Amino acid sequence: MRILYFRPDTADCTADPHYVNYDDLDRMLDDVLTVLESKLVKSITGVSVYGKEGEALYESDNYTVFGGSYGDEPPTRKLAEGEYAKRHKVEGLYFARDAEEGVSLPVGLTGYKHLMNLIPTKLPWERIKSVSIGVVWTFANDHSCSDYITIDPMGMIVDYSNQDWWIEAEGYKQHCADLGELLGASIEPSDE
């Protein structure tokens, strides 16, 4: 007997990764901040810090590009706008969910800056498996399951990933060139 599992909720979440190696933890954190503050990032959907066992050590509230309804229906989620949204770099996103109680960071850019202040005094690198920052890249004006900046502190690597759907999108090659120039690294799009 054979059993076929059909998962209609499965999605293609492949990425065009852009790894940058580091030899200094502070520079790694500063480079990520530089990218987050730059014009390359339109907004930040969330910041999560995972421990060695995959548990959430810290996370911010999460935002999304999806308003919660389809077609001509009005959005069901609350739109982030105004001074609050601009300051935290969540403007134009919709509130998706609260952070778990007890592990909460401030939202967006402020959450990442707060995290920088926790490391290494209150949150030693040895406890962190990864830091994941969801971004809306400006050229795409969208966020997918692969649009994340992921920090691997033990490997001293940051992946400035893009969804591979964007590879043939207008502005993608310029995005990669601008990201590389900003970081002083070679950032090349994958072969189309």
pLDDT for 78-108, tens place per residue? 999 999 999 999 999 999 999 987 789 999 9
Q: Which two tokens stand for residue 144?
A: 């997918």
Q: Which two tokens stand for residue 69?
A: 């309804």
Structural domains of the chain, count: 1
Q: Which domain range does residue 125 map to?
A: 17-183
Burial 49-88 (b: 16+ CB within 10 A, else e): bbeeeeeebbbbbbbbbeeeeeeeeeeebeebeeeebeeb
In a domain, 112, yes or no: yes
35 membership: H or E segment, kind and range: helix 25-37
pLDDT for 118-148, tens place per residue? 988 888 888 999 999 999 999 999 998 899 9
In a domain, 52, yes or no: yes
